[in-house]
């Protein structure tokens, strides 16, 4: 496993993150096996959110991992807040209450990073700043970030914050690659040239914000897994051939494709299968060539201008 230092932090974190959204209904013993497999493979970064399983994912995680003080120092725990039933909420009261509830469920005194989950158009950045200051001063949150935010939203927040925003979680995969499509199709009038996100990829690189791709195996907005899906025959043919040539699983090849980008993205994988997780972690040993990277990109139906 290769490691990255999160901007402004001192901890080396695994370049692959284990997402814990789907563990809520799993038996504790199965979650324990999954987490220990992750640790054995070198993963030390675990991603949560207050809405995952309505908080149950955080509870099961804590029960399965048994966070001793020494073990807690060796892992990086991230959680998110801001999504409520039917609306988004970046109010000071909600951020503070959500953070406290996550800490209680996780059975830990602090989280390494707290992310604001999806943009709240009613956000008052002064309130967010007050909440972040209070959480940092109390030692409950070490660092802060966002998820699914564009450059303007980040700039607005950062204007009021003392703490740098160090992470932005964004949907990104071979099939959902809008953030790079428009950069490849500059000065074109085709659909791929449309800038839907304000140049978020280049912005995050310039501002030293780590991009964490979520749903790296899904196409559309949770439409399904593109691996072995009949909608993507050319892509799967290329992935099958290349994975066989390299002696790895297609899942690992997909993650290696993301890791190859010089933005040093940190993909979040949500598998609950320990054996599949082992396969995925082999991506850390693979470096794709430029021709290989672009061949996979084109196989997903992307055209180079």
Category of 103 on φ-ψ map: left (φ > 0), alpha (ψ -120 to 50) or beta: alpha
Is beta strand 76-81 parallel, antiparallel or unpaired with respect to 83-84? unpaired
Q: Which spans in 55-188 are helix H?
A: 56-65, 69-74, 92-106, 125-137, 151-160, 178-184
Catalytic-residue membership of 76 = no
**Cα 198 off chain centre by:** 19
The catalytic residue among 3, 52, 76, 160 is 52
Maximum CA pair distance of the chain? 56
Closest CA to 296 of 265, 249, 254: 254
φ, ψ (nearest 5 deg) of residue 55: 95, -15
Category of 178 on φ-ψ map: left (φ > 0), alpha (ψ -120 to 50) or beta: alpha
φ, ψ (nearest 5 deg) of residue 128: -60, -45
| Length reported for the chain | 305
In sequence order, the β-bridge partners of residue 13 are 4
> Looking at the annotation, which residues are catalytic?
52
């Amino acid at each position: 496993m290769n490691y990255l230092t999160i901007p402004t932090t001192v901890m080396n974190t695994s370049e692959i993150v284990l997402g814990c959204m789907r563990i809520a209904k799993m038996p504790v013993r199965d979650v324990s096996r999954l987490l220990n497999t992750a640790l054995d493979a070198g993963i030390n970064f675990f991603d949560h959110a207050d809405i995952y399983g309505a908080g149950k994912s955080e509870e099961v995680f804590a029960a399965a991992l048994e966070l001793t003080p020494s073990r807690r120092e060796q892992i990086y725990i991230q959680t998110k807040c801001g999504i409520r039933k039917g609306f988004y909420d970046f109010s000071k009261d909600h951020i503070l209450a959500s953070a406290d509830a996550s800490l209680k469920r996780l059975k830990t005194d602090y989280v390494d990073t707290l992310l604001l989950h999806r943009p709240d158009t009613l956000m008052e950045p002064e309130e967010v700043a007050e909440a972040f200051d209070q959480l940092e001063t109390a030692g409950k949150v070490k660092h802060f970030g966002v998820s699914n935010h564009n450059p303007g939203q980040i700039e607005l927040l950062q204007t009021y914050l003392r703490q740098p925003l160090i992470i932005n979680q964004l949907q990104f995969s071979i099939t959902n690659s809008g953030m790079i499509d428009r950069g490849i199709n500059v000065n074109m009038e085709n659909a791929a040239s449309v800038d839907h996100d304000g140049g978020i990829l280049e912005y995050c690189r310039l501002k030293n914000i780590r991009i964490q791709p979520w749903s790296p195996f899904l196409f559309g907005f949770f439409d399904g897994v593109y691996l072995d899906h009949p909608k993507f025959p050319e892509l799967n043919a290329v992935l099958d051939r290349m994975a066989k040539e390299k002696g790895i699983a297609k899942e690992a090849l997909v993650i290696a494709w993301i890791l190859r980008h010089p933005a040093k993205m940190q993909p979040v994988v949500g598998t609950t299968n320990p054996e599949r997780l082992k396969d995925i972690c082999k991506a850390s040993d693979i470096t794709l060539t430029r021709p290989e990277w672009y061949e996979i990109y084109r196989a997903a139906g992307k055209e180079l201008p």
